[in-house]
C-alpha cells in the first residue's frame, strides 16, 4: 500500500465539526474558533476569515491522531486552503503557526474581494481547452479565468460577474451539459486576489518554513516542488488555478493506491472517484470515522492511541 492524504478546502465546513475530538486541549487555546466549530451558526462559520482557521485547526488535530497511530502518508495534498493542512502534515508549519496563517489568509482574502461584483460557476462536461478559450473571449468584459480543475467533467470559472455571465452563455452554446452558480465569498484563485497575494508575501517574510518531511503536491503546479520555493508557491496559490485533477493524477503516478480525505464531507473523494475509480478511499471528519479508518489500515485488533 502507498498512502496519500488529501485535505478538504473552504466550502466543506459544517457546524459541529471537530466536536467529537473534544476535550482536545487545542480547542481551549482558541475559544473563538471552538465556538464557531461546535455551534456556528453556519453563516458565521462560512465567512472566509472564520472558515479557514477552523478547518485547519480540526485538520491538524486529525493529522496528529493519525500520526500517533502510525499512519503517515507517502504524499499529501489539499484543495486550496487544504494545502496549508498538507504542509502541516509535512512538518513545514508548526500547529499554532499554521492556524494563525490560515486566520491571516482568510482575513486578507476576504478583504481583497470586498466591493467586487463577482461570480463563480461550475461548468459540467466541457473540455479544458475549449473553456480556456471561452474565458479569453469573455475577458474584454472583465477578469475571468478557470479557477479550479477539479476532475473530469467539472471545471470552475471565477471572475467579475459580467465576464463570468458571458462565459456561462458561451459554454452552454458550445455544448456544456450544465452550468451551476456556486455560493462562494469571492472570485478566489483569479487575478482579482492580487492584494491578498501581496499581503501573504509580506507575512511569509516573518515566518519560518521548516524542512518538508513528506512530499506535498501543490495546487498551483499539479506536482511536487522542483525549483520553486514554498513561500513563492503559496503567494501565487490564492490567485492561480487549483490543479486538483492533475495533483491526484500525479499522486497516482507515484504509486499511491489508497487515499484518506481529511475534512467534513466527501467532496474530494467524489473528485478522486471520477479521476480513478480503483483508488481505495477513506474519509475522516470525526472520532468515529477516524477509528474506522485506523482499524481498516492497521487491523481490527489494533489498540487505538488517543
pLDDT in tens, 29-63: 999 999 999 999 999 999 999 999 999 999 999 99
| 28 and 91 inside one domain | yes
Q: What domain range includes position 178?
A: 118-182
CATH number reported for the structural domain that contains residue 149 in this entry? 3.30.70.250
Q: Cα separation of 191 and 273, whole Å?
A: 30
- Strand-strand pairing, 258-262 and 280-284: parallel
pLDDT over 90 at 185, yes or no: no
User: Looking up cell 468515529, which residue turns up?
Assistant: 288
Question: The domain spanning residue 71 has which CATH number?
Answer: 3.40.366.10
237 vs 201: CA distance, rounded Å: 11
Please indicate, yes or no, whether residues 167 and 221 belong to a single structural domain of this protein. no
What is this structure's pTM?
A: 0.97
| Cβ 138 vs Cβ 166: under 8 Å | yes
Q: How confident is the model at residue 283 (pLDDT cuts 50, 70, 90)?
A: very high
Mean pLDDT of the chain: 97
Query: Residue 183's pLDDT band (boundaries 50, 70, 90)?
Result: confident
- Which pLDDT does position 261 carry in this prediction? 98
Instruction: Kindly state whether residue 305 falls inside one of the protein's structural domains.
Output: no
**For range 214-235, the mean pLDDT:** 96
What amino acid positions are annotated as catalytic residues? 80, 189
Question: Does any domain span residue 304?
Answer: no
Model confidence at 227, in pLDDT bands (50, 70, 90)? Answer: confident
137 by Cβ neighbours in 10 Å (0-12 / 13-18 / 19+) ranks as middle
Instruction: Give the pLDDT score at 184.
Output: 81
Instruction: Supply the pLDDT for residue 306.
Output: 82
**219 and 280 share a domain?**
yes
Count of structural domains within the chain: 2
Q: Are residues 237 and 286 in the same domain?
A: yes
Instruction: Please say if the pLDDT value at position 196 is more than 90.
Output: yes
Question: 104 and 209: one domain?
Answer: yes
Cell of 77: 495534498
Amino acid at each position: 500500500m502507498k498512502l496519500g492524504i488529501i485535505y478538504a478546502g473552504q466550502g466543506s465546513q459544517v457546524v459541529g465539526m471537530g466536536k467529537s475530538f473534544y476535550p482536545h486541549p487545542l480547542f481551549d487555546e482558541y475559544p473563538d474558533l471552538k465556538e464557531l466549530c461546535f455551534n456556528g451558526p453556519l453563516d458565521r462559520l462560512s465567512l472566509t476569515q472564520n472558515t479557514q482557521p477552523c478547518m485547519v485547526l480540526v485538520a491538524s488535530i486529525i493529522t496528529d491522531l493519525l500520526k500517533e497511530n502510525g499512519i503517515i502518508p507517502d504524499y499529501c495534498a489539499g484543495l486550496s486552503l487544504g494545502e496549508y493542512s498538507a504542509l502541516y502534515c509535512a512538518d513545514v508549519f508548526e500547529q499554532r503557526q499554521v492556524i494563525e496563517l490560515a486566520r491571516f489568509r482568510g482575513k486578507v482574502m476576504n478583504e481583497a474581494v470586498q466591493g467586487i461584483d463577482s461570480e463563480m460557476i461550475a461548468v459540467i462536461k466541457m473540455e479544458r481547452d475549449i473553456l480556456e478559450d471561452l474565458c479569453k473571449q469573455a475577458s474584454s468584459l472583465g477578469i475571468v479565468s478557470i479557477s479550479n480543475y477539479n476532475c473530469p467533467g467539472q471545471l470552475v470559472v471565477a471572475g467579475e460577474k459580467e465576464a463570468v455571465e458571458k462565459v456561462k452563455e458561451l459554454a452552454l452554446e458550445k455544448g456544456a451539459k450544465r452550468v451551476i452558480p456556486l455560493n462562494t465569498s469571492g472570485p478566489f484563485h483569479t487575478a482579482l486576489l492580487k492584494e491578498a497575494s501581496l499581503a501573504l508575501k509580506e507575512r511569509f517574510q516573518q515566518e519560518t518554513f521548516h524542512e518538508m518531511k513528506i512530499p506535498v503536491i501543490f495546487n498551483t503546479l499539479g506536482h511536487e516542488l522542483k525549483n520553486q520555493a514554498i513561500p513563492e508557491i503559496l503567494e501565487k496559490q490564492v490567485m492561480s488555478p487549483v490543479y486538483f485533477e492533475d495533483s491526484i493524477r500525479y499522486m497516482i503516478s507515484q504509486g499511491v493506491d489508497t487515499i484518506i480525505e481529511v475534512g467534513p464531507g466527501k467532496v474530494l473523494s467524489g473528485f478522486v472517484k471520477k479521476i480513478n475509480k480503483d483508488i481505495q478511499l477513506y474519509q475522516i471528519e470525526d472520532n468515529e470515522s477516524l477509528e474506522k479508518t485506523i482499524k481498516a489500515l492497521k487491523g481490527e485488533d489494533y489498540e487505538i492511541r488517543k
